[in-house]
Amino acid sequence: MITINDIAKEAKVSAGTVDRVIHERGGVSKKTAAKIKSIIAKHDFQINAIASSLALNKRVQIAVLIPDYDAGNTFWKSPMLGILKAKEEVKKIGASVSYFSFNQFDEASYVRQFKEVIASKPDALLLAPLFGSATKGLAKELDDKEIPYVFLNINLEGCNNISFIGQDAYMSGFLAGKLMQLSIKEKSAIAIMQTRANLDNNHAIYKRIKGFEDYFSSNKLSVPLLNINLVDLENTEVLAEKLKTMFVENPYIKGVYVPNSRVFRFVKAINNTKINDLVLLGFDGTEENVKCLENEKVAFLISQQPFKEAYEAIKLMVDFLVDKKELDERIYSPIEILTKENVQFSKHSK
């Protein structure tokens, strides 16, 4: 019986390319696809025999290292689901995906899991480099072992990653600045919430804040920007007291910028009367944030497509390993603006 490898040899393409045509996954020219389909028809190849007939020259293993999620921090649930969906699909062409996760607020947890990943000897790694300084040191081990790696969501500079898949954090912050400036009244101040102890160790958050600040400086707008350090967001009562004090000491604050996915925490902690006098802007279309948007407690959410980013990342890495298809150095996701009026039509409502 003819196999996928036999078809690939006759068509003078890789087995992975044949599989893409069979499963209609795109990425193959019309001419090549037509040639492969003609060979399939000629030999009466049965598609339902794919699993038993597939024999790649090398079975590939991809490791994934991304943060855990919980009820209070749900952003990473979507990438995880995208990875699991892709995992089932690439299994058909002999690729396996190993999933590792870490506590996004614990650098030691990240380092431990990174070591576990390296010990598993993957052919490639998809990584969310949440802790910048630790990643740069650990990435050298990947380089030494010649394990290619792709960054997801956070575009950490100074490493030899073969690609980055995610949003342009600086431009998303710049856009947030524009939205905020258009929404607040004159003679208002804006509070920039810094919720990480070591901001320069979190590249994406740092870039979002830098882009936000640069919007105002590049447009010569004399709007007071106040950097407020509030690391502990879990205790709503304590957070509420700190915010109350902030507003008393800075009565001109009319805008609150939260450069991460936890703007809903601030909504819970700000007095209902006070919040109606504020413009809150945050990131990511998580369920909690979307509720705040729909209730008009948050004016805008800057969002991306985390499920699709992670799903496509796995598929592209399989193409890289199996078909030797080079990846673009940066694969940017759209910068979406979610509002009460349009959120029901976005992918986040599905």
pLDDT for the residue 143: 94
pLDDT of residue 50: 43
**What are the CA-CA distances from residue 260 to residues 133, 176, 334 (Å)?**
20, 12, 17
Question: 203 or 126, which is more confident?
Answer: 126
Please report, rounded to a whole number, the percentage of residues in the chain having pLDDT higher than 90.
68
Q: Write down the pLDDT at residue 52.
A: 40
pLDDT band at 41 (very low <50, low <70, confident <90, very high): confident
207 CB-contact burial (10 Å; exposed 0-12 / middle 13-18 / buried 19+): buried
Q: Taking Cα atoms as reference points, which of 122, 131, 62 lies closest to residue 102?
A: 131
Q: Which of 34, 29, 37 is nearest to 7 (CA)?
A: 37
pLDDT band at 25 (very low <50, low <70, confident <90, very high): low
Which whole number is the average pLDDT over 211-215? 98
Domains of the chain, CATH where assigned? 4-49 (1.10.260), 60-166+306-333 (3.40.50.2300), 169-303 (3.40.50.2300)
Rounded to the nearest 10°, the torsion over CA 276, 279, 285, 290 is 10
DSSP structural state of residue 95: E
pLDDT at position 298, please? 97
The whole-number pLDDT of residue 276 equals 92
∠ Cα 28 30 33 (to 5°): 65
For the record, the structure tokens of 115 come out as 């070591």
Q: What is the pLDDT of residue 81?
A: 95
* Average pLDDT value for the chain: 89
Q: What is the pLDDT of residues 84-125, one digit of tens each?
A: 999 999 988 889 999 999 998 899 999 999 999 999 999 999
CA-to-CA distance for 27 and 21, rounded, in angstroms?
A: 9
pLDDT digits over 155-186, tens only? 998 999 999 999 999 999 999 999 999 999 88
Average pLDDT over residues 278-286: 96
Extract long-range pairs of 14-18: CB within 8 Å, 24+ residues apart: 14/322, 14/323, 14/324, 15/54, 15/55, 15/56, 15/57, 15/93, 15/322, 16/56, 16/93, 16/318, 16/319, 16/322, 16/323, 17/323
CB 24, CB 60: distance < 8 Å: no
> In this structure, are residues 120 and 63 in contact, taking their beta carbons and an 8 Å threshold?
yes
User: Is 50 exceeded by the pLDDT of residue 201?
Assistant: yes
Quick: pLDDT tens for 49-67: 444 444 445 679 999 999 9
Q: Does residue 333 or residue 195 have the better pLDDT?
A: 333
Span 193-197, average pLDDT? 84
CA distances from 130 to 88, 127, 167, 196, 206 (A): 26, 9, 14, 11, 11
Q: Is 287 helix (H, G, I), strand (E, B) or coil?
A: helix
